Structure 1
Amino acid sequence: MAASRAIRTVRGPVEPERFGFCHSHEHLFLANGHPATLNPALRIDDYELTLEELRSFRAAGGRAIVDAQPLGCGRMEAELVRVSQEADVHVVASTGFHKLAFYKENHWIRRLSADALRDVFVHELRHGLFVGTDSAEPDASATVAAKAGQIKTAVDAERMADADKRWFEAAAAASLATGAPIMCHTESVEQGEWLVEFYLSRGVPPERIIVCHLDRALERPESHRRLAARGVYLEYDTIGRFKYHSDEAEARWIADMLAGEFADRLLLGLDTTRARLRSYGGEIGLTHMIDVFLPLLRTYGVEEAHIAQMMVVNPANAFAMPT
């Protein structure tokens, strides 16, 4: 008999067939802290405004959100639980780590060993989310009962060149111990290829690897196809980010990938910031996918079955873990 699997949300496990229409990469909250000193858009801390945004998303047909903010750099654990309950939207929380720039020089995540980091990630996946980790090390006495449902990781030039890869070693070990998917922040196709190779070499199954932001530069389609052929998920989340390219260019790119029979490898999201959430005065809002981009995809000949694959079927498969 096959092992049962479920998506681990902040309100508890959800069977894949009940997960529904999902944005695979968003940021619902981001506390006012060190990340906001780098970019004011990295502050999403008004509970009522996020609730308003998420209720609009649900009214438009959305049912699930993967929140990609890991611990130690602005994740707001209690608010994620509360807003999921009040908006009646499934929310997947992230353990793991972000780019080193998101952490002050003396932050604990810069100095813990690979084994200690693995234990932090596994605790959040199995037992509950730590709170207060922006300024203090994780403390088992300070948690919320909600569990993480994925491991967020981030590669940047600094860590690719560093011989010490303990962050990535810890993520791989935590995934192998729990069956959790690993989401990979990248800023180039080269970084994505490097990190995929790293995780595969550590024994992480390809179907547990999600490479995000690959569509920031719409180039090197052969590299995207090679990654998809290896069995990893490609996440396209630069939709509505017009400083990179138009939605029309994104739609053409996705239509070409679908024509290459990679529909079962694609995930979509908006990678929202304060500047892009309508309730905060931003330019698009969480309904942009449903109201604007998916209709645009249809004009490029994308079939309803492929839209359902990217928005419902693939997220349910990608984020499901053994129970």
Structure 2
Amino acid sequence: MVNGADTVRVRTVLGDIRPDELGVTDAHDHLFLRSPRLPGRELADVVAARAELAAFRAAGGAGVVQWTPYGMGRRAAELVRISRATGVHVVCATGLHQAAHYDDERLTALRGDGLARLFVSELTEGIGESGARAGLVKVAGGFHALDAHARWTAKAAAEAHHATGAPVTVHLEMDVLDLLCGELAVPPHRVILGHLNRSPDPVVHRQAARSGCYLAFDGPSRAHHATDWRMPGAVRALAEAGFADRLLLGGDTVTAGARSVDGGPGMPYLLRRVRPRLEAELGAEAVDLILTANPARAFATDWR
């Protein structure tokens, strides 16, 4: 068990499980997603989502962590159904993305302490009528600076963490990481930093690794993000520097065309192509650590 505590669990949409039950895990992906920034490219097809999850299972996958936060079409009730149908563990997020993904009316309704209360409620009581509880808080800032929205959401995420123990995920935004783990006192090992592949700077990678947070390489096969051909070297460099036990892998499928069932790489690509490529670079034992043991630690907590 993680930390030797029998009470430590991963919170999935079907209930809490032991960390060692999570299995081979896609640590950052999306089965459902809707945003005004992606008009006409929503992930909303239930049949396709179920087929994608089944394809991941057939490739050897056992767990998927969906980072889609509040107000972006999570479809928690459908996550419950397709998780049960496919036998894949699904971890669902609460949280809030950048302001551009929401209308002003929705954000205004959450001002004051409403956002933190929402996060805690979804982590402990459940998401709407779905019966599913969230298992993490997802937030985001700007790449170069923190605006008022990012500070507001990070503060609410920290409050939710301190109230529940929930892990917090964030994009590769060092200012948000510094705020969470500094002023807001979230322990670094409770933070998962995503999109390291989008900024293939080894100095930034080592800086993030030294903080003690988990580091997710996600979004394979996106050539415009310099992922596939740079990622193995970046992962190897971090592993050789002693950070192999902090690395995670995810697909970050954000449009319908990126699903494997619609001709894209999708979730199975992690195991079909990325896994053997990394095994050639690092060896099978290290890749097993990244796909299985690391997510079991990263997304498990002693829920309060």
Give the TM bin, normalised by the shorter chain.
Answer: over 0.9
Residue number in structure 1 paired with 2:178 = 197
Say whether residues 1:15 and 2:15 are aligned partners.
Answer: no
Aligned to 2:245: 264
Deviations 1:99-157 (A, max 9, x none): 111101322x2452342111110000101013xxxxxxxxxxxx321100000101126
Q: 1:102 — aligned with what?
A: 101
1:210-248 C-alpha deviation (Å, 9 max, x unpaired): 1111211212x1221122122111111032111222512
The counterpart of 1:234, out of the listed 188, 211, 215, is 215
> Aligned ranges for residues 271-282 of structure 1 at < 5 Å?
271-273=252-254, 274-279=256-261, 281-282=262-263
Match of 2:197 among 210, 215, 223: 215
Aligned to 2:135: 149
Equivalent residue pairs, number: 298
**Aligned amino acid, residue 65 of structure 2:** V
Structure 1 residue 193, shift from structure 2 partner: 1.7
- Secondary structure of the 1:260 match is helix
TM-score, with structure 1 as normaliser: 0.87
Return the match for 2:287 from 287, 293, 307: 307
Gaps of 5+ in 1: 131-142, 187-191
Percent sequence identity over aligned pairs: 35
2:54 maps to what in 1? Answer: 55
TM-score (norm 2): 0.92
CA distance in 2, matches of 1:52, 1:123: 30
Match 1:298 to one of 279, 289, 293:
279
Give a deviation string over 1:25-80, Cα, whole Å, max 9, x none: 0000125xxx1x42247411111111111111101100000001011121111111
| Equivalent pair of 1:30/1:42 in contact (CA under 8 Å) | no
Kept after mapping to 1: 8 A contact 2:29/2:252: yes
Q: How does 1:174-189 map to 2 (within 5 A)?
A: 174-186=160-172
Instruction: Look up the match of 1:112.
Output: 110
Long gaps (5+) in structure 2: none
Corresponding residue for residue 119 of structure 2: 121
Aligned counterpart, 1:133: none
* RMSD of aligned alpha carbons: 1.9
Contact 1:25 1:68 in 2 (8 A): yes
User: For structure 1, which segment, 51-60 or 282-291, has the greater mean C-alpha deviation from structure 2 after superposition?
Assistant: 282-291
Tell me which amino acid in the other structure corresponds to 1:253: A
**How far did 1:11 drift?**
0.4
Q: Which amino acid aligns with 2:87?
A: D
| Contact map agreement 2:160 2:166 (CA 8 A) in 1 | yes
Runs of 4 or more above 6 Å deviation = none
The C-alpha deviation readout for 1:250-285, integer Å capped at 9, x for no partner, is 111111111111101111101002221021x23212
